[in-house]
């Protein structure tokens, strides 16, 4: 089936918002070190751009958990596919995710990382689809709230494609 991509958020709009979130995070964590945990693969583009806008010291690590695969519906539970390299004891952890949908991924991750001895765990997502929430999760920093549409770009894929788009677009099937 042929698909086309309709622009939802331009590169310029995303860059401006990332700059704002970076400033907010830098204020909130003044005097602290932040341990950023990027959720692969989708969160990696956002993580790199955001890290450059944070002015307090940061360290980074990555984790990969199972998500949608090649489908456009949620799979439910999460599975760790690649675990962290660093220990979390006493660290101020900030999880960087591409999108919050049902809330399951961040809800599970928050509990898991707190359990590993982090001093605190906060959550940051570029996109939020509030209409799709199934599990309650308090996301501390959100880039944009978007309608219930399947989006790609800026790290987000459809069957592993489109991650490299510098904007966020909606997949339309004609």
Q: What positions carry a catalytic annotation?
A: 101
Q: Give the C-alpha separation, 116 to 122, whole Å.
A: 14
Q: 29 vs 38, which CB is nearer to ligand 5GP? A: 38
* Site track 108-137 with ligand 5GP (rule: CB under 6 A), x = hit: ------------------------------
From 22, 93, 96, 105, residue interacting with ligand 5GP (rule: CB under 6 A): 105
Q: Give the C-alpha separation, 45 to 39, whole Å.
A: 10
The residue written with tokens 């989006």 in the block is: 151
The strand pairing partners of 6, in sequence order, are 170
* Site track 52-91 with ligand 5GP (rule: CB under 6 A), x = hit: ---------------xx-----x-----------------
The dihedral built from the CA positions of residue 157, 152, 139 and 124, taken in this order, carries a sign that is positive
Nearest-CA neighbor of 42 among 132, 148, 134, 164?
164
38 touches ligand 5GP (CB under 6 A): no
Cis peptide before 73 (omega within 30 of 0): no
Stretch binding ligand 5GP (CB under 6 A), from 30-38, 53-61, 84-92, 149-157: 149-157
Which positions touch ligand 5GP (CB under 6 A)?
42, 67-68, 74, 97-105, 150-152, 156-158
């Amino acid at each position: 089936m042929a698909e086309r991509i309709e622009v939802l958020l331009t590169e310029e709009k995303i860059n401006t918002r990332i700059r704002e979130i970076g400033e907010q995070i830098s204020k909130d964590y003044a005097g602290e070190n932040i341990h950023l945990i990027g959720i692969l693969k989708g969160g990696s583009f956002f993580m790199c751009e955001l890290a450059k806008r944070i002015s307090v010291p940061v360290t980074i690590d990555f984790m990969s958990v199972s998500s949608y695969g090649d489908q456009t519906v949620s799979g439910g539970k999460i599975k760790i596919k690649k675990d962290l390299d660093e220990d979390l004891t006493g660290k101020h952890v900030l999880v960087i995710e591409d999108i919050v949908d049902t809330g399951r991924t961040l809800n599970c991750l928050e509990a898991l990382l707190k359990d590993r001895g982090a001093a605190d765990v906060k959550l940051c997502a570029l996109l939020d689809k509030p209409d799709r929430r199934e599990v309650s999760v308090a996301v501390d920093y959100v880039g944009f709230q978007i309608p219930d549409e399947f989006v790609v770009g800026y790290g987000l894929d459809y069957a592993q494609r489109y991650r490299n788009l510098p904007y966020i677009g909606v997949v339309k099937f004609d």
